[in-house]
Chain A
Amino acid sequence: MNSAVLKKTMYWFVVPALTMYLVFWIYPILRLFQYSFSDYNGFIQNFNYIGFDNFSQIFKDGVAGTSLSNTLIYTLVFVVFSNLIALGLAFLLNMKIRATGLYRTAAYVPTLFSAIVVGFIWSYVYMPDSGLIATVLSWFGVDGASLNLLGNYSSALYAITAVDVWKHIGTSTVIFLAGLQTVPVDLEEAGRIDGASSWQVTRFIRLPLLATSMTINVTLSLINGLKAFDYSFIMTNGGPGRATSTLLFEIFRMAFREMQYGKASALAVVSFIVIIAITIFFVLRLNRREVSA
């Protein structure tokens, strides 16, 4: 379709956005690769190229391995739980009952808070002794003082992931709800007339038609999980030890606290490759599974 409306001069409209994107996003990403082969420390501009030293160092001292596995666990837990809980909530809120608007609001409100506020409030929830969980447990005679979820090696990572899940559920629920509302009522009724149980209607009619919202939610949560930084920074400072140190937190710590820009850039390059590979893999697979109504 060749319309007179379409002219090549239209491409001038891309220039402002493209310029900013190239200067402040793409160019810095390329520089990252350059720094990763150098001993740059952020101050002395004539730095040396040291080959793959940064890479071998971050792998040898275990920083890359630890932060990579922390990030992957975080992402897996985050994607699975935020989507399952949101899906359940969306089914509940999609029922023909009153006050769903109020319920939806209650589900959505946590997403409005800044990560920093959320981090502070949840630090209280997790505090040993006088925190929310510890106090409730003490009512049931369990000694909450020894339960230090954020201070414990084995639980800290899951504790901060739970906070992110909590903040993210509202968004996913709203997207699932919108998807559910596009499921044609007559399709559900046709299913019931054919004798399908409500579980079968859900499984064979609603879930397949939710594929688009599922793709969006899984993709968004995947990207969000791989970007994990906030709660390691606000709540645990990467600790105890390196238990909650995600890739991005580790990059930040190396660059701005230890002034090792070269090493931090090498870790950033590793993260870049991992993040791109995982995202492309999942997006391609998910897109293939979609069905339309």
Chain B
Amino acid sequence: MNGGIAKKTLTHIGISFVLLLNILPLLIALSSSFRSVSNMTNPLQLFSEFSLESYRVAFDKMHFMQALGNSLMLTVISVVVVVLFTSMAAYPIARINNRLSKALYLFFLCGLVVPSQMVIIPIVQTIQGLHIPSSQFTPILMFITCSIPFSSFLYTGFIKSSIPIEVEESALIDGAGLMRRFWQIVFPLLLPVTVSVVITQGVWIWNDYFFNMIFISRAAESPLPLAMLGFMGDQTNPTAWNVLFAACFLCALPLLIMFAFLQKYFIGGLTVGSVKG
């Protein structure tokens, strides 16, 4: 028995060590961010001072509330549209078993391997050609488009494996049309994937700076990651680290809070698609 306890303790020590090493950069950045702007102590002396001065400076410099509002707006609109469009698209693809469905499925899936940076030149041209003004809302178009492949893949797999067609047949006998069957019967049953889509796509859209950088030029329209770009250069300047790290954590804070409350869904959402295959 004694050997078992020793072994377990050793395992705990091993895992703790590995994971501590893993989050060490974050811990050090966090501790530095709690120092006053002028406190130049080595960042490795953890939590030697608790001051919110750096946060105050970073808060003002990145126009936090404004950026937070912009981030929320971009992410919520994009994710809602992605959920509606891709669940709808997946429905016939999963239900009807013919060549067209198979072709559409593969066609959407192909988009997964094409990186957005690669096609950004013609994308900008296309958007200009359609006379869509370059504004705060332009990145939403690309967030939605880039989320289509993975989300429709998740929805299609889930409908095929977990929503038997029988649930609709009784509704059909009761005279429910296609729209009602989808929105009232099928869509609610898709909740596990919807959670997964909201989380996987929401996290990347929230964190993305690339499309925002391309389309948004006014500071007042910047979401959080784009506001972070304003600190570019500070990372090689030790005197700016306290404020920079405070800004980093301000930027990450909304997602960290979400994660703290919805951890189960974050972890589960990641595996909905993967376990079913």
User: Which A residues lie at the B interface, using CB under 8 A?
Assistant: 1, 3-11, 13-14, 16-18, 20-21, 23-29, 31-32, 35, 42, 89, 92-93, 95, 97, 99, 103-117, 119-125, 127, 130, 132, 135-136, 166, 169, 171, 174-175, 178-179, 182, 212-213, 216, 223, 226-227, 229, 234-235, 247-249, 251-252, 255, 261, 264-265, 268, 271-272, 275-276, 279
Q: Is the CB of A112 within 8 A of B259?
A: yes
Contacts A6-B95, A20-B148 given; indicate if A174 touches B271 (C-beta within 8 A): yes
Q: Is chain B's binding surface mostly helix, strand, loop or mixed?
A: helix
A-B pairs with lowest CB-CB distance, top 7: A28-B122, A123-B235, A31-B122, A114-B207, A178-B271, A10-B92, A17-B89
User: Which B residues lie at the A interface, using CB under 8 A?
Assistant: 8, 11-12, 14-16, 18-20, 22-26, 28-29, 42-44, 84-86, 88-89, 91-93, 95-97, 100, 104, 108, 111-115, 117-123, 125-127, 130, 141-142, 144-146, 148, 152, 165, 168-169, 172, 178, 181-182, 203, 206-210, 224-225, 228-229, 231-232, 234-236, 238, 241, 244-245, 248, 251-252, 255-256, 259, 263, 266-267, 270-271, 273-275, 277
Name the residue on B nearest A215 (C-beta): B277
A8–B178 Cα distance when bound, in Å, is 11
B203 to chain A, nearest CB (A): 7
Contact of B43 among A13, A93, A108, A132 (CB under 8 A): A132
A291–B228 Cα distance when bound, in Å, is 45
A136–B44 Cα distance when bound, in Å, is 9
Contacts A28-B123, A182-B275 given; indicate if A116 touches B225 (C-beta within 8 A): yes
Q: Is the CB of B267 within 8 A of A174?
A: yes
Q: Is the CB of B275 within 8 A of A18?
A: no
A171–B162 Cα distance when bound, in Å, is 24
Contact of A17 among B86, B96, B172 (CB under 8 A): B86
Q: How many A-B residue pairs have CB under 8 A?
A: 258
Name the residue on B nearest A264 (C-beta): B121
Contact of B182 among A13, A17, A178 (CB under 8 A): A13
Q: Is the CB of A124 within 8 A of B43?
A: yes
Write out the residue numbers on chain A whose beta carbons fall within 8 Å of the beta carbon of B18.
89, 92
A42–B271 Cα distance when bound, in Å, is 42
B119 to chain A, nearest CB (A): 5
Name the residue on B nearest A171 (C-beta): B270
Q: Is the CB of B118 within 8 A of A109?
A: no
Contact of A107 among B14, B19, B168 (CB under 8 A): B19
Name the residue on B nearest A18 (C-beta): B89
A106–B15 Cα distance when bound, in Å, is 10
Q: Is the CB of B118 within 8 A of A271?
A: yes
Name the residue on B nearest A3 (C-beta): B165
B123 to chain A, nearest CB (A): 5
B54 to chain A, nearest CB (A): 14
Q: Is the CB of A135 within 8 A of B42?
A: yes
Q: Is the CB of B23 within 8 A of A110?
A: yes
Write out the residue numbers on chain A whose beta carbons fall within 8 Å of the beta carbon of B42.
130, 135
Write out the residue numbers on chain B whose beta carbons fall within 8 Å of the beta carbon of A20.
85, 141, 144-145, 148
Q: Is the CB of B112 within 8 A of A29?
A: no
Q: Is the CB of A117 within 8 A of B251?
A: yes
Q: Is the CB of B26 within 8 A of A114?
A: no
Contact of B119 among A1, A7, A32, A279 (CB under 8 A): A32
Write out the residue numbers on chain B whose beta carbons fall within 8 Å of the beta carbon of A16.
84-85, 88-89
Q: Is the CB of B274 within 8 A of A213?
A: yes
Contact of B126 among A27, A227, A251 (CB under 8 A): A27
